[in-house]
Every structure is written in C-alpha cells, then in structure tokens.
A and B are shown apart, each in its own frame.
Chain A
C-alpha cells in the first residue's frame, strides 16, 4: 500500500468522467476523478479498485502490477446504483447502509416534463405518495411512509447539493388560488439525480425536519465534452387537456319546479335567480333567456357548455447548458425557459431559471466549489379554484344551467364595460372572472451554496459549507368593479419573504485500522437561521374602476404583517465501522438547541444505529443464481421543535374602530412548558439479486412511533379560549415496501426489456391525543365532512353525516319519504390508501426506447363536493333518474294541491287526481323502511330526494382507488454516425404522455387523485379544478 497508481475513468464513448468514484474495495478509502476524469491513488498490489459513476455500471479492476489504469464504464439504464448519495451529500456504497435509499435519475425526471418536480416522482419510488391538488398550475403534496405528525408538516425535507431548500406552500384562502409549492421552482433539467431517504433512519443527520424523510437533489456538475466544452440544448412542447369532467344531464334546464323565464337573472322573472337545473325540459320550447332581450327563444341543451370553456393548454420549454472542465476547474452554466398556458382561459406561468455550478482546485489539498441558482416564476393569472363566487371556476359550473350556451357569454362586457350573465344573483360571467378577476404571482428565488474542502492529511478532511435559500413571493389579487357580490371591486397585494441559511462545518476521518476493519468518522456543527415575513395590504373597495393600486381605495387599507424567525444550533457525529467489506455498523448522534422551545427544554438529543451484512459475501455463497444478498436493520430517533412563538400568550391587534385601536386576548392559549416531539423508527430489510443481477429485490419493513406531539386542541369557548396548545398525542405507522426490478429479455443484438415494480403498504393508528384521555379526536380540516385524527383510528378518517339505519341495517326514511340522516356523525372512510404501487415497463432496442408507467393507489376514500353540489343543483346525470315517467319517475298528486302535504301515489301516469289536482311524474319511492320497520310507501319528489342526498356525507363519499397510465415515453437516439456528420455528439428525440388514461376508478365525476391543498386535510374534493392529461415532444442535442 505504498505505490501510486494513476488512471483515467471514461464512459463507453471515451468521454472522460469527472467526479467518478474510485474506491479501494473493502475500504472507504478512495478519491474522485478530477475534471479530466483522472485520478491518483495510493494502492497495494493486492487491492481491487471499484470504479463507479452515477448512470454507469460499476466495475472492479485488480491493481496487480499496473501503474496506469483506464477504466471504461458502460451506461447503465436499469441497475440499482452501487453508490448512493446519503445524508450531508456523502456518497456511500449502497451495501454499507442499514436503511433504504432509492434513486431516481435525471432522464426519468427531465423527459417527463412535469411542471412540478414532485409530480414526476409519483409511481416511481416505493412508499412515496404524491397528490396533485388541482389543475396543472398548482401545488402537490408528497408524503413518504405515511403521516407521522398529527398536526404538523408531514412532507419530507428537500435538500439541494447538501443544504435544505424550502418547500412551503404559502397560501391564503381569500385569493382562491392553489399557489404552487416552493420546490416546484426547481428546473428538472438541472437535476443529476434524486435520492429518496425514506425514514428517520436515513435522516438523523439532517435534524428535526428530516423526521418525514429527505429528498436529496444533486444538480449537474461541469463535465468536459470532447472538445473541452459541452453544450446541451433541450427543447420541448407539451399540450394539456382536461382528464375528467363531471357527467352532466342534458334533459332539464335551469329553474325550479319545472318553470323558468328570464328577466334580470336575479329573481325578476320566473325562477331566474335560481341557479339550479330543476327547470323545464330542454325540448326546444320557447322561453326568454339571458341573451334574448325578453324574446322567447328555443330552450335547448348545451351538453358541452362546461367543457367548451376550457382550452388546450401548452408548455414550451427551451434550455441550454454549457459545461466544461480544465485542469483544476470545472463549471456548468444553464438557462431554461418554460412558458405555460393553462387549460383555464387567461392563465399562464413562465419560469426562467439560471444555474451555475463551478469547482476550483485552489491548492492540491483545497477545493472551492459553488452552486448558484436564480429562478423567476411568474404568472399573470393563476386559475381560480375553491368555492369563492367572485373567482372560482368549477363552483359556477356545478351550478351552471344546462341550457346555457357558453359561447353567448364569451363577449362578457357590454359597451359600457358592464358584465352580463346567465345568473345575476350569485355569479359574474365566467369569462369576466377569468379575464378580470385575476391573481398574479411572481416569485424571485435565489439558492446556492459555497463549499470549501480541505484534505488536511491522508484520511482527514475538513469541510466548510454555507448556503442560502431566499425568495420573495408577491401576489396581486384583483376583483373588478362590477363583479357580482363585490360591486366596487377590490385589490390586494400579498408579499412574502422567506430566507433560510445553513452554515456547517464537518471533519471527516477515514482509516483502515487493520486489513479487515476500517472506520469512517464524521463530526460537525450546523447553524440554521430562518426568517419569514408576510405583508398583506387590502383595498376592500376601489374608488375608480380599472385601476389596481393600493391608493385607489374608498376605505382605509386593511393591513397585516407577520414576521417570524427561528434558530437552531446543532452538533452531530456519525461513524461507520466496516468489516471485510461485507459487514457494516453505522452510528449517528445529534443534539439540537432550538429557539422555539422554552430554555429548560430547548436542547434535545437523538441517536441512530443501523447495520448491514452482505450475506452472499460473508457466507461466500454468491453465484450466478444468487448473486447478492444483503440484510439490514436500524433504529433511530428524531426530535422535532415547535413553530416560533408558541410559548407566551400575546395580544393580537384588530382593525381600529375609528381612531380607537383594538387589542384582544388571543383565541389560543399557549404553552410555556413545551417539549420537543419525538419520533422513533425501527426498520429492517433485505436486498437480493438473482440470475446474474437480472432480478433485483429490495424489501423493507418499518415501524414508527411519534409521541409528545404539539397539538393545538379545541377547547370549549366557555374557558375564554377556543384552543389550547398541548404536548401530547401519539401516532404509530408500520408498513412494508417492495421494489422489484427484472430484465425478462435481453438479447445480444441489443434488445432489452426491463420491468420495475414498487409496492408499499402503510398502516397508521392514532394511539392517544392527550394524557388525560379528554380528547378523542383532533380535527385536521373539514369541507362537507370532517377529516380527523381519532383515538384508535387510522390517521385521516373522514367523519360526517350518513344514512340512519335500524338494527337490521335497513335505511330508515323520514316522514317525507327521503332517506333520513343519522343524527350522529360517523366514520365514512379514511384518506390514506390500503396500498400504493407502480409498474414501469421499459423496452429498448438500439436507439429506440419505449416505457410506460402504471400508477396504482388502492383503497382509501374521498368525499366529493362536486357530487354533493351537483345533486343539489340537478346538473349531474344521475339526477335524471326518477325525474319523469321516461326516467322511471312515479305519478302522484298533492291533496288539494297543497304542496306542504304528503304526496299521494297514482296508479299510472295517465291517471288523473280525484279533485283535478296537478299530477306530477317525478316521484321516487326510496327502498327503505319507516321508523317502525315497515317498508316505505311515501313518494318523494325528485328534487327533494336529491337535495336530501346532497347533504348526506356517506352518499357522497367514494372509494378513491385509481389505476392510471401515468407516463408513456417513446425515445429515439439518432445514431452517432449520423449526428457526428453535423457536429453533434448525440441527439435524442422523445414523445412523452402524462396522465393519459384513468384505467380504473370508482369515484364518479372526478379524478380521485385530488386535494384542496397540501395540508393534512386530504380526502376532500370540493369543486376543484379538473386534472389534466398532457402529451409532448422533446428534443435534446449535445454538441
């Protein structure tokens, strides 16, 4: 071990690979190649060198007597990587880890062309659950291995190039927009790889926020092309269309009791203020309508009147990356521009991102590297979501008269600038809403870091790193003069500033103690400082129309501010002991001091331990049939602090009354004795490869328990407060994850078919909420039904109204013949699925590749506000059942035409009533029983029947299962013999489709994969924007 070997690592095309790992097998000793792919290493003749590089197959080369080694690495499309990036950006041999790490590579992300990075992970990583909130311009939620915090954030920590970046969804419900979560800023073209560290096992070194797992993003580094300069150009276009719209009925139009006639759209005519479709049959009868100036015109259905409002969205993406390397210096610069038009008219988003990565060897022992990213995400108008009348999209359409011709609403303003609409009681013209009531957003973001690495002596390295993530996010919310419900309009500006700094120093020592034992020890300190500011200015009524400034206000501006800051000091250490390169023991420890906890509780310590043994090597049974078997196990604990300012009661301000300022006692009683939340996790797993690595299996079992949760629990207002902060609550999660990769077919001619499957099941249980047992449930949110964490129940139960049933389970009807609602609310389901999984098939032959990903979420429930509202309004297809004789309605009359009495059934539709009363044909006889158990004989008129069902939570809760064709990619790499003639190193074209087909679902009218926001209140659909499918074309050129 006293000889020097030099060498070069190159790809199969001869390109040098800078940053490739060269490790002496069985040790942690090694180097990375420099910018020219070269390395120098002290070796002994008996050593075997392990060469690896992300995206390439690793190889082993015995040193023997060689003094120069050229290692040629082949591209690897499928095999699990040997070397993975773990906590603090440290690359480790995967087999040395006692926990699960799963990687997603750059081409799996960039080709997908997902505007939100989080979505691109869906179906690709076992145990990762992604929920796209609404439409295609909004937020997405990601949870790994289930929810471990009852009330807090359950999303993983995102880390870019070794330092945390923010993924908040800063949202204000009064804007009625689904603002994108912050990580969606990141340009997928700049990502080299993503490692998903799933449990707190993997994450103890990142501190509190890693309790929910960590997503480690490594950006692309400088790499020399053949001429010392590499230029990559990417270009793509993607088109988007709606995936699902509700099924509407097209027989009855707007009105009530079968009658409608338009005068002013707000009650001046016959039922013209009614925004429901219980009106006349749309059989061409002549009725005055909103566009006809009192003239009676044919009353006809417009089946596509909702669909026709939406447009084809598109995204145009162009990017260029220049990279190069010289002796001691490498760099990469990239610029990417993406311009998106949404499926809702007049919505857009533009993203411009600049990124620089550079590394400079100041001295043979000192390397300085930096990464800097600037991203501007801008939107003139994000699509309207949620249920606010002045800004929503689907709210109005779920009340939209089925006879309304959307084309007649397109010119939404008259000559005087006033709007007109099919209904003026509740809504403004939908085009007016889209073009006038806009919400703009601009987020300017800088994140980056500086990293100084000093190799003090062989085996001992010091590293200093400091990084910042800073963004300003500004929103401008306009409601135009003349908008229904806001006659003077309004204007609001919201500004956020978020900054997080992490500064970290580490010292790393690696040593082979004996030929059999090696150690790798790391110690460090971290300082984290975060601040967030919010400034909100609101002009509730404009003075002059059409001018959107804060000065243009009739009233005093309403202003609020919020500032928060927090600090955490940390010390941490980790150690690995390796034995003969097949047995490894890892230990970590960290102590945090957080500003958000009281001084006597603000220090908390958390350790972890894990181990792995490569049985195939230890027991020496490796063969072509069973090529690799590894077992692993680990235990870890993570502490978590509180949000800022949760200790001492303070007094919030209210808007002054005239010149009198106002202060009030806060609603929330804080807790001066908070202690940190704790999550402990135990994990065990097996990794194995068979048939010459043709089949790879990775299975994990984990158990997580989180206690001392910080909960803001509701208390009776008669205490003087509506909530109280307590430090209790315990939740358990346990689950299994499987990953399976197989290559069923591979031929010498270059044909390859690879299948990868991932599957995960998580079971959660809320063990307790408070020590006294006073609390039985905690409300996570509600919309139609409540989402709660109830003691003894799984996390995220849907709780609401349901049918009243007797002891025999029969549904009881009320006196009016409609199914009765049980006065006690009940459990209707839960939002978490039974299991989730994905299957990807990839076939390649020479330059052509085809892959398709099927994403499955089995079980779980969702409450549908669209269904509830649509039953109320009579627009949905199922509300036709029983509406008339043709659709199975029963004949009846009211004695003396008194509609307050119980309907009297008639024998047939031609029968007349005894005293010449009006005969109705929309009777429904519900198959239930009366209170005494006898069969129901009372007919209910269809509108009454459906409106009763509309408020029944159970009836509108559905199985949320879906099977989706998530992604199809067809790629072609043009042969290099052709590309080189035009001076290209490589050229790739691809066709990509996303969310093309919902193969199976149970919930009618909606895509069950939807959410109101990224909060913990999942499983609620309430008139959200429909999801989209997209298909596009990409081209990538390398010069």
Chain B
C-alpha cells in the first residue's frame, strides 16, 4: 500500500511546480504593496518626513512604536518578495532565460536596498538560504550597497531586448529596454545614496553610467498601476475603511507658501467648508489634540492618491533628473545642474497633471524655487521632498542624506526632540536570530529609532 499512501498525500490545493511569470507577478505586486503600504509608508516614513500626519491613533506620529511595528516590512520583503525572486532565478538558470534572471536581480537589488535604507545592517549575503542558513548573519550597509551596485550592473548586462521574452511583468509589461533604464536609474540612486561615505565608488558607478539608457520620460516611470478591488492601491484600501491620516501641516504650508500647483493634487479640500480650503494637521499631536481639529475640518490626501487605481511609484523620472542634477553638482559627471533641476521639477509637475507651461514657468521663476548651487542640498532636498510626496521610504532616505528640508520634530514626540532616522528591527529577530542580531547591533549601535545609519553621514 506504499504508493497508495504516497499518492493520497499529494497536495491537490497548490501548484507542485512554479512558473516564473506567475512568481514574477506576485513578487512585484507583493513588494510594491509592502513598499507603498501602511506599515512601511503611511504609518512610518510618510509621518517622519511630514508628508502625512495622523488625526486618530496618533502614537506613531509621536514616534511611539513597539518592536512589532516594523515587522511587516521585514517579513514582506524577505519571505515573499525575495523568496519568490530567488525561485525565479533558479528557474531562469534552468531554462537559460537571462531576461528573467536580470529582472529578478534588479528587483532583488531594489528590495535589499529598501531594507538597508530603513534598518541599516541586514541579512544580505547569507539571506534566503534556509537549507544552509537558519540564522543568517547581518551585513553592514557598505557591504549591502556595494553588492547591490555590482548586482545591478550585472543585471543590466544580462538583459537583452532581443533575448527570450518574459511574462507576468506587471511593472513594464515585458519591455526589457525599460527594465534596463530602470536598472540604471537604480544604479544612479544608490551611487548617490553612498556618495557621502564612499565617494569613489559613487563616482565610478556614475562614470560607468555615462551614455547608458536611463528613465527619460514620465512614460517610463517604474510604477505599479493598481486596479479595482481586490487589487486597489494600498493607500486607497486603507481609506476605504479607516480615516486616520491627513496631509501634514508642514507639506500643506510649504506648498501654500510656494503657491505650488501640486497643493490641490496632494491634498483634498476639507469636507466641511473652511476659508483655507486645504488644512494640514501638525505632526505628533496627542489623540485628544488631534481629535479637537475635527475630521471634517482637515485635509485628506488628494483624490490622485485615494483612487483605487492610483499608481504605486518605485522610481520616477523627476527623481532621475534630481539625481543627475546632484551628480553634476558633485562633479561626478558634466552637465547643467540648474537645467536638470528645473527639468526635474517640471517632470514632477507633469507627473501630477500640471501641464500648463505658463503655470510651470511662473512656478520655476519664484526665488524660493530657483536653484541655489551654493546650497544644492537645500534646493534639491526641498524640491525632491515635494516631488516624492506619497513615496515615503525614498523621501525618508533622501531627507536623511541631504538633510533638507529642515523639519521640526513632532509636537508631542517622545524622542527628546528628535525625528527617527531608521526603523528598529522586528522584535522577533531577537528570539529567532538572536546572535546575528546582537552582533549587528554591536557594530551599528543601539537598536533605536535615533541611531544614525552609515550612509547618513552627519
């Protein structure tokens, strides 16, 4: 009866053999969901950079977190996104499809970068190998970013628009040329990320990028265009049943001061009629104080962000232009930094539907907007901060690196007048991977929200 018993135990509910295209769809969907979702975005990074503020359950806005607050990012990126990508890589090596391999390597690099951006040292070289590594050691940021930059170069080289087709690609619909541009845009992003600490490496990567294809229009954004339920945008999904977030007063007042045409895009008019129309909420109020402001007398994010089919952006054209402007300013390459800066702002305005050239020119002409080469960090930092509205993790990284705009900490913050500069590790790592965790903390510094990361040089 041996065969009979073995056959009885064949699982009829799940696939026995995976397909790379179906895995790819899941890897992209699940990863962008995590990236753009509540724990990683709305309830943390978007609060730190003061894009949003909380009107109910304000603890996170006061930087009160527990050691489970940042667990879903860790779990989502590692055990879903990276695990699926590892499987795709295995399948691609079996079938010899280098385009799957390249795409998987680009996404893998983006996920590892997202992890190290937020937590600092993370399992990298020893991660995603359960058969050999049940307790993977952590790697420092220098190792992680270095590995990622090398991998991205390899990935771009693997990709070939004339090569084997890929399917299930809900980011670029199988367009390998766009994946190459995305891969190069990520190389530019992470080269600059470490530029304050590893200038030579940054220069080397950016020099190598000269003449290579890179995202060069708003049609080439790396973004997942969401759909209707059950595939709605995570922010839209949250607002379907919750009403906890408002646009931060910092963002609303900055946009108002600059007469920024993106204000009506980023913020909704208050539900009850108010003279200001758009009213932001200060970050870090107590529950009572936030409640006093009134749910109907404060601005939710704009409908652009609340639509179920709103895009989840991973990398925008305007970001590429801001990065190029900075690369020029840092003399990693030649070009016109000011022109690139203005193109970046223009690209952002266009991305959010502001296309009238007069409006754009008027905006750019304002002294407060004009490029200041003497303090490019302030010019680029401030405008990038605006352009990245809604894309919390990237806005958070760039705000830490560029140190602009200078934000005032939460009103009733609990970090003694500081703003968080990283995520704390999930508490479960202490019990599940204790030694590796302790080794990492010993090198990096206390596992606190206020511990500065390597790339974020003072």
Chain A residues in the interface with B (C-beta under 8 A)? 256-257, 264, 266-268, 270-271, 273-274, 425, 485-487, 540-541, 554-556, 558, 561-567, 569, 593-596, 599, 602, 644-645, 647-648, 650-658, 660-667, 669, 714-722, 724, 774, 776-777, 899-900
Q: A655-B230, A655-B231 are in contact. Are A662 and B11 (CB under 8 A)?
A: no
Binds A, one of B73-81, B156-164, B203-211, B358-366: B73-81
CB–CB B128/A719 < 8 A? yes
CB distance from A60 to the nearest CB of B (A): 49
Identify B231's interface contact among A273, A569, A647, A658, CB under 8 A: A658
Residues of B within 8 A of A721 (CB): 79, 83, 130
Instruction: List residues of chain A with CB within 8 A of the CB of B291.
Output: 256, 267, 271, 273-274
Among residues of B, the one whose C-beta sits closest to the C-beta of A646 is B9
Are A720 and B295 CB-contacts (below 8 A) given A593-B1, A657-B29, A664-B30? no
Given known A540-B230, A593-B1, contact A718–B123 (CB-CB < 8 A): yes
B82 within 8 A of A: yes
Residues of A within 8 A of B128 (CB): 718-720
Query: Within 8 Å CB of A562, what residues of B?
Result: 13
Residues of A contacting B229 with CB < 8 Å? 540-541, 554-555
Q: Which residue of B lies closest to A816 (CB)?
A: B414
CB-nearest residue of chain A to B242: A485
Interfacial residues of chain B within 1-48, with CB under 8 A of chain A in the complex? 1-2, 4-6, 8-9, 11-19, 21-23, 25-26, 29-30
Would you give the shortest CB distance from B130 to chain A, in whole angstroms?
4
Inter-chain CA distance A180–B239, complex, in Å, is 35
CB-CB under 8 A for A268 and B26, given A425-B243, A485-B241: no
Query: B134 touches which one: A270, A563, A566, A719 (CB < 8 A)?
Result: A719
**16 CB-based A-B contacts, threshold 8 Å:** A267-B294, A267-B295, A541-B229, A595-B9, A602-B2, A645-B9, A647-B9, A653-B14, A658-B231, A664-B30, A664-B83, A714-B432, A716-B123, A718-B128, A720-B130, A774-B134
Q: Does any Cβ of A come within 8 Å of B227's Cβ?
A: yes
- B134 CB to nearest chain A CB (Å): 6
Cβ-defined partner of B18 (8 Å) among A264, A602, A663, A719: A663
Q: Which of the listed residues B22, B26, B136, B287 has the most CB atoms from chain A within 10 Å of its own CB?
A: B26
Residue pair A719, B133 in contact (C-beta under 8 Å): yes
Binding site for A on B (CB under 8 A): 1-2, 4-6, 8-9, 11-19, 21-23, 25-26, 29-30, 55-56, 74-75, 78-80, 82-84, 86-87, 122-123, 127-130, 133-136, 168, 170, 227-231, 240-241, 243, 272, 286-289, 291-292, 294-296, 411-412, 428-429, 431-433, 436
Q: In the complex the two chains form, what is the Cα distance from A541 to B237 in whole Å?
A: 13
- Give the residues in chain A near B134, CB-CB below 8 Å: 715-716, 719, 724, 774
A714 to chain B: closest residue by CB: B432
CA distance in complex: A274, B294 (Å): 11
Contacts of B29 in A (CB 8 A): 654, 657, 662
* A715 B170 Cβ-Cβ under 8 A: no
Residues in B neighbouring A257, C-beta threshold 8 A: 288
Chain B residues with CB under 8 Å of A717's CB are 74-75, 78-79
Known pairs A653-B15, A663-B22; A268 contacts B288 (CB<8 A): no
Known A657-B231, A718-B136, A720-B82; judge A663-B5 contact (CB<8 A): no
A566's partner among B9, B23, B123, B289 (CB-CB below 8 A) is B9
Complex Cα distance, B72 from A722, in Å, reads: 11
Chain B residues with Cβ below 8 Å from A425 are 56, 243, 295
- Cβ-defined contact, A595 with B231, below 8 A: no
Cα distance A935–B243 in the bound complex, in angstroms? 42
Given contacts A273-B291, A485-B241, A667-B79, contact A645 B11 (CB under 8 A): yes
Please tell me if the beta carbons of A273 and B22 are within 8 angstroms of each other in the complex.
no
Q: A271-B291, A596-B9, A715-B130 are in contact. List 15 more A-B contacts (CB 8 A).
A: A266-B295, A267-B55, A555-B228, A562-B13, A602-B5, A645-B9, A652-B13, A654-B30, A657-B231, A658-B231, A662-B29, A665-B86, A717-B79, A719-B79, A721-B83
Please list the 8 inter-chain residue pairs (A to B) with the smallest Cβ-Cβ separation, ordered nearest first.
Answer: A267-B295, A718-B123, A650-B14, A663-B22, A595-B8, A720-B83, A645-B11, A716-B433
A716 touches B23 (CB 8 A): no
A-side contacts of B133, CB under 8 Å: 719
What residues of A have a CB within 8 angstroms of the CB of B170 in the complex? 657-658, 660
Find the B residue at minimum CB distance from A670: B11
Instruction: Tell me, in angstroms, the Cα distance from A720 to B79 when the chains sit together.
Output: 4
Closest partner residue, chain B, to A650 (CB atom) = B14
Which label, helix, strand, loop or mixed, suits the secondary structure of the A interface?
Answer: loop
Residue of A nearest to B426 (CB): A717
Q: Which residue of B lies closest to A487 (CB)?
A: B240
> Do B130 and A256 touch (CB < 8 A)?
no
Distance in angstroms between the alpha carbons of A594 and B75 in the assembled complex: 34
Q: In the bound complex, how far is the Cα of B14 from the Cα of A563, in angstroms?
A: 10
A661–B25 contact, CB under 8 A?
A: yes
Please indicate the chain B residues that have their CB under 8 angstroms from the CB of A273 in the complex. Answer: 56, 291, 295
Instruction: Give every chain A residue within 8 A of B127 (Cβ-Cβ).
Output: 718-720
Closest A residue to B17 using CB positions: A651
Give Cα distance in the complex from A541 to B288, angstroms.
Answer: 33
Residues of A within 8 A of B433 (CB): 716, 718
Residues of chain A with a CB closer than 8 A to B26's CB: 654, 662-664
Chain A proximity of B16: nearest CB distance (Å):
6
Q: Which residues of chain B are near A661, meaning CB under 8 Å?
A: 22, 25, 168
Given the interface contacts A268-B294, A665-B83, A721-B130, does A716 sit within 8 Å of B135 by beta carbon?
A: yes
Contacts of B136 in A (CB 8 A): 716, 718-719
Residues from chain A with Cβ under 8 Å of B135 in the complex: 716, 774
Closest to B4 in A: A567
CB distance from B147 to the nearest CB of A (A): 15
A341–B286 Cα distance when bound, in Å, is: 45
A567 to chain B: closest residue by CB:
B8
A256 touches B230 (CB 8 A): no
How far, in Å, is B220 (CB) from chain A's closest CB? 21
Docked-complex contact A650 and B16, CB < 8 angstroms: yes
Chain B residues within 8 Å of A565, by CB:
8
User: Which B residues touch A718, using CB under 8 A?
Assistant: 74, 78, 122-123, 127-128, 136, 433
A825 to chain B, nearest CB (A): 9
CB distance from B379 to the nearest CB of A (A): 34
Whether the Cβ atoms of B428 and A665 lie closer than 8 Å is: no
A569 engages B13 (CB within 8 Å): no
Question: Which residues on the A side are within 8 Å of B429 (C-beta)?
Answer: 716
Contact A669–B130 (Cβ < 8 Å) = yes
Name the distance in Å between A943's Cβ and chain B's nearest Cβ: 8
Report Cα–Cα, A554/B308, bound state, in Å.
14
Cβ A558 vs Cβ B296 within 8 A:
no
Instruction: Give chain A residues whose Cβ lies under 8 Å from the Cβ of B87.
Output: 665
Nearest-CB distance from B145 to chain A (Å)?
17
Contact B11 A650 (CB under 8 A): yes
Inside 8 A of A720's CB, which chain B residues have their CB?
Answer: 78-79, 82-83, 86, 127-130
Q: Which of B5, B15, B21, B292 contacts A650 (CB 8 A)?
A: B15
Once the chains bind, are A716 and B15 in contact (CB under 8 Å)? no
Contacts of B6 in A (CB 8 A): 595, 599
Identify A561's interface contact among B13, B21, B228, CB under 8 A. Answer: B13
User: Nearest-CB distance from B276 to chain A (Å)?
Assistant: 17
Per the bound structure, the CA–CA distance linking A174 and B408 in Å amounts to 42
Query: Once the chains are docked, how many angstroms separate the CA of A715 from the CA of B433?
Result: 8
Chain B residues with CB below 8 A from A657, complex form: 25, 29, 170, 227, 231
- The contact of B431 among A558, A561, A776, by CB within 8 Å, is A776
Closest Cβ of chain A to B230, distance in Å, is: 5
Residue of A nearest to B127 (CB): A718
CB of A560, distance to nearest CB on chain B (Å) = 9
If the complex has contacts A599-B5, A718-B123, are A267 and B296 also in contact, measured as CB distance less than 8 A?
yes
A566 touches B14 (CB 8 A): no
Please, how many angstroms separate the alpha-carbon atoms of A516 and B249 in the complex? 97
Instruction: Give chain A nearest CB distance to B310 CB in angstroms.
Output: 15
Complex Cα distance, B272 from A271, in Å, reads 16
* A722 in contact with B79 given A563-B13, A595-B6 (CB within 8 Å): yes
